[in-house]
Structure 1
Amino acid sequence: MPKIAKELSAKAVRDLKSPGMYSVGGVPGLKLQIAPSGAKSWLLRVKVGDRRREIGLGGFPGVTLAEAREEARETRAKVRQGIDPVEERRAIRQRLKDEQARRLTFEQAFERVMANDGPSFSESHRKQWRRSVELHALPHIGSMPVDEIQMRHIEELLLADDFWREHNKTARDVRNRIERVLDWATAGGHREGDNPARLRGGLKERLPKLSKLDTAPKHYAALPIDLVPSFMADLRERGGMPARCLEFQILTGVRPNEARGALWSEIDFKAGTWTIPAGRMKAGREHRVALSKEALALLGGLPREPGELVFPGNSRRMIGINSTRTIIGRMHTERAKEQEAAGEEPTGYKDPKAGTIATPHGFRSSFRDFAGERTSYPVHVIEMALAHSVGDATQAAYARGDLLEKRRQLMDAWGKFCKEGEAAPAVVTPIRAQEG
């Protein structure tokens, strides 16, 4: 028969000091372990099936002798029932870990998605993602655990303040981004079941049906073609970097943020090009701009401030995002006053269709109208000048070149029009001549 350990009293357990392992009796296999540091802890040695286990029962005196014996009896009872206490504890810890993971909030999940996918976005796309979600999603569901978000929560945020109807394009983007975040959460085991932000078979049946007028994209206010030369003459009279940046943006047909971020290292005066890296382009692809004589002259007349920015603002930082819009607003007000004083209708620099003041981005539309109506350049050359995707994926695969020299002729025509009010003729080589 195995030797039965003497039952120690609580005082005897307290008096044990030397490092080692001591049987305390009362329950077979229950021992007090004393470390060299003097720390005491309870250990139960027991055989589970064919395996010997040493199961920790806590430290002394946090766990008293009586409590250790009671815990040891319960553990041995589980073993008799065929339960492995070690595996049971491991399963409990895993369930707790899983439960904590499932309590991930939507905001935390969003930040994880931005960390994972953000580097693949262009700078402008990344900013759009963050701004739209922070403005329209996080105030409603940001603090909610992802596994508690239901369709009604998404529906409520999309309908709040008539968001779905009044700003449908943005609302659709927000819904899509919420769906993306919740898909990530489901794939990571943070939630289960259907995605509550899914449109088909889900939100589509709950959201108001909108007309084509409601869902039509809202265009940036733009100047009519014939007002561009007088606007540019007015703009050239203005001083300051924001004015020069706006002038350069119009001459090159780029987006406002692309012009604001222009660096001297991207400009090749000899080749007459400006190469914008993929990270600053909306489509995430590098774009070469053919610089017209007017654009090159503008750059040549700029002071070379310390730093890389072509159009530095205060403290040599990038000029403000609204600085060029402010210039247009000021020019509009002054021109409207002049027109009123002359007995004319004070239209200023308004888009007659929109009824609002022209915007920096709207000059891309002015350029597109000019190229389409006042020149005979092919559509794909015009669209490539605007850094738009040309054709479908198959066509794009074969269109390896960027038609730089053809685009240079177009940009020269635009530069001449902006300065003199007339277009240079398009040079179009007949197809038969190309083939011959």
Structure 2
Amino acid sequence: MAVSSITIRAVQALKSGETIWDADHREAVRGFGVRRQRDQATYVLKYRVFGRQRFVTIGPHGAPWTPELARREAKRLLGLVADGKDPADEKAKARLQAADTLRAIADQYLRNAKQRLKPRTYSDIERYLLVSWKPLHPVSVFQITRRHISARIADIASGHGKVSAARARTALSSMFNWAIREGLDIAVNPVLGTNRPVQPGSRERVLTETELLAIWRASGDDDYGRIVRLLLLTAQRRDEVGSMQWTELDTISGLWTLPGARTKNRREHLLPLVPAALALLPPRRDGRDFLLVTDPGAAETRIVGSRVGPSRR
């Protein structure tokens, strides 16, 4: 171990296992050194904090670290020590934050969301986080700014429309709120304060009697057709009708009890069925819990030729 001025020439002359500690000039920084291990010279800082001697690695000699730049970094780190902070802990924290990329946090959030969200809702959120926000996946969530988010929202709106952009923004905001509640030391949700894309108003058009009649006639006398006709008669959601079960029905009173687990607001819903709806119910088959096929989306393909379909609620 030697005490000398750390210069490029001195660093290049170091032999394996040798260390130089900065001294002998007015710019010298106490505790700043360089040591060579095998073929690599590395700048380090030795300091004391809370009564303990500590070492922190500044970086290897070569771009970007020169003796002058490494010496300035050593001064900055000693400033942290003067403020009662441990540079080694700060570097460890920085490494952890760098590992918390948007993709890593999105994966954690989605694992949690999958347990509490309906499959359709989860699928939409997964698509927004993993596809719409993919360009920001490598960036640490601690470094994502409102500018990053605003620029990406504009790109999504340009390529996929304002509705998709608004929903992608909502999905990302929910993820950041969850991450903050999980203990990530993010000062503020960076989505807050960004502009929400203006979405078109709710559609007011409803199907005419002629269109409803065309749909009714285009529906076949099978489970697919029954689903479409029940949608018209009950005005319930497609998945609710397609997943109707015998245990939910009281054919005597004509009541259909939709359990909270299958409704949007998670509340039980009692629906009286008109005679025309009851007449559409198939005979009960042994060993079958569901009244109709469990893929109600296939029903839509049966009436494509009519070019009309049930309006969304």
TM-score class normalised by the smaller sequence: 0.5 to 0.7
Partner of 1:287: 269
**1:274 partner SS:** strand
Considering Cα pairs closer than 8 Å and 6+ residues apart, tell me whether 1 or 2 has the greater RCO: 1
Answer 1 or 2: which has greater helix percent. 1
Residue ranges of structure 1 left out of the alignment (5+ in a row):
1-74, 313-317, 333-356, 365-436
Q: Distance in 2 between matches of 1:118 and 1:220?
A: 34
Counterpart code for 2:209: I
Q: Is the 8 A contact 1:256 1:361 kept in 2?
A: no
Alpha-carbon deviation of 1:195?
Answer: 2.7
Q: Distance in 1 between matches of 2:116 and 2:156?
A: 33
Counterpart code for 1:192: I
Partner of 2:288: 307
**2:148 partner SS:** helix
**Match among 225, 237, 254 for residue 209 of structure 2:** 225
Partner of 2:100: 104
Paired residues, number: 240
**Match among 52, 72, 84 for residue 83 of structure 1:** 52
Q: Distance in 1 between matches of 2:182 and 2:99?
A: 12
Alpha-carbon deviation of 1:198?
Answer: 1.3
Q: Is the 8 A contact 2:156 2:164 kept in 1?
A: no
**Is 1:266 the counterpart of 2:261 in the alignment?**
no
Q: Distance in 2 between matches of 1:228 and 1:245?
A: 14
**Is 1:181 the counterpart of 2:175 in the alignment?**
yes
Q: How does 1:5-44 map to 2 (within 5 A)?
A: none
**1:148 partner SS:** coil
After superposition, the CA RMSD in angstroms is 3.8
**Change beyond 3 A, Cα 1:159–1:120:** same
**Is 1:129 the counterpart of 2:79 in the alignment?**
no
Counterpart code for 1:176: T
Q: TM-score, normalised by structure 1?
A: 0.46
**2:142 partner SS:** helix
Partner of 2:280: 298
Q: Is the 8 A contact 1:122 1:284 kept in 2?
A: no
Partner of 2:222: 240
Partner of 1:168: 162
**Change beyond 3 A, Cα 1:122–1:188:** closer
**Is 1:113 the counterpart of 2:109 in the alignment?**
yes
Partner of 1:145: 140
Partner of 1:328: 303
**1:288 partner SS:** strand
**1:181 partner SS:** helix
Q: Distance in 2 between matches of 1:198 and 1:307?
A: 49
Partner of 2:67: none
C-alpha offsets along residues 49-82 of structure 1, whole Å, 9 cap, x if unaligned?
xxxxxxxxxxxxxxxxxxxxxxxxxx9x969x93
Identity over the aligned pairs, expressed in percent?
Answer: 20
C-alpha offsets along residues 170-193 of structure 1, whole Å, 9 cap, x if unaligned?
322221221221233344453533
Q: Is the 8 A contact 2:218 2:303 kept in 1?
A: no
Q: Distance in 2 between matches of 1:220 and 1:102?
A: 48
Residue ranges of structure 2 left out of the alignment (5+ in a row):
1-45, 55-85
**Change beyond 3 A, Cα 1:184–1:303:** closer
Q: Distance in 1 between matches of 2:309 and 2:214?
A: 16
Counterpart code for 2:184: H
